[in-house]
Amino acid sequence: MIPSRISILVSFVIKESRWMFKIMTVRVWLKRDSGQYWPSIYHMMPSPCSCMSFNPETRRLSIGLDNGTISEFILSEDYNKMTPVKNYQAHQSRVTMILFVLELEWVLSTGQDKQFAWHCSESGQRLGGYRTSAVASGLQFDVETRHVFIGDQSGQVTILKLEQDNCTLVTTFRGHTGGVTALCWDPVQRVLFSGSSDHSVIMWDIGGRKGTAIELQGHNDKVQALSYAQHTRQLISCGGDGGIVVWNMDVERQETPEWLDSDSCQKCDQPFFWNFKQMWDSKKIGLRQHHCRKCGKAVCGKCSSKRSSIPLMGFEFEVRVCDSCHEAITDEERAPTATFHDSKHNIVHVHFDATRGWLLTSGTDKVIKLWDMTPVVS
């Protein structure tokens, strides 16, 4: 989800071009012979822009507006002209996400009105809709199976099966304690990545049908955007902390255990502070409950005094583990599976060009940065 009144909001690199939103305009920036990017053209919009989708094959640019409209343009081959094509009255309020599906000629969108809708891009006709439980903030689509993935601000991910003029609810799942802020779909491995305001990323094994959910902890603030390099199986996550984390997903990762319930420490049997009977019988003061991130057991502070990173479980930072698990973790198991980079601005949107290895980030500081990621994504 992108704030509507910030000067520079969204940008991406495609064919040596840079695109960005300003308050009421869409601008095209071209790379000059000097190596610098300068404005080429711009188009005034009737309402502030909130999101966008660009297809490089057709040069079709779809722009979501605060008033619920989706405006489409075709750009010329030299990117020096924008031709309006059509408008969709898609939503009753601000458009939050847009996807253009070239194979089906569909425009998928979500809005602040809690509606998911899809339109035919040829006729402009609305084909169907679905009401979500909360405002959607993530949208992905699988062309082969026609499944759409919708993440919302309640932390829920909804999977719908789309037909030409109707949709069917497949399932919903929840793993985040905060709202979903970004989704990324890998159609080859058939896994879905979701980022959240709870600072975590979850990898959902959709194709394996085993219900596996791998948690990745590498940010100190909400995750704002996700991109995936299929050829190297590396996930790029960007957060409000300014961090760019590159995750190696070509390793055998472990699912985090469920936290066990107990009235006393499962290591030393000391009662927890709510266990009045055992405290009275043993004449001992109740202790605060903690959980080991590796085994999931309920333990007291004395029995979990150590910290350790567990990269294969997604914990790149040190987390609480019980003393016995700390001794069992080897130095090889502590080897990091992600690299960390500081963008030096609060990232709100990214675009990754896998062919060049370029990553473009835009931040709340109204600055757009272009990164060469080939040293780490290769």
Pairing of the two strands 234-239 and 223-229? antiparallel
> Residue 310 pLDDT more than 80?
yes
Q: What pTM did the predictor assign?
A: 0.84
Q: Identify the band that residue 154 occupies on the pLDDT scale cut at 50, 70 and 90.
A: very high
Q: Higher confidence at residue 275 or residue 308?
A: 308
> Residue 163 pLDDT more than 70?
yes
> Residue 323 pLDDT more than 60?
yes
Q: Identify the band that residue 209 occupies on the pLDDT scale cut at 50, 70 and 90.
A: low
How large is the average pLDDT for residues 32-38? 80
> Which pLDDT tens digit goes with each residue over 212-240?
888 999 999 999 999 999 889 999 999 99
Q: Identify the band that residue 185 occupies on the pLDDT scale cut at 50, 70 and 90.
A: very high
Least confident of 97-111, 138-152, 242-256, 264-278: 264-278
> Which pLDDT tens digit goes with each residue over 268-285?
988 887 777 777 777 777
Around Cβ 205, how many Cβ atoms within 10 Å?
Answer: 16
Mean pLDDT value across the chain: 87
Task: Please report, as a single letter, which amino acid is at residue 376.
Answer: V
> Which pLDDT tens digit goes with each residue over 351-378?
888 888 889 898 888 888 889 999 988 7
pLDDT confidence of residue 120: 93
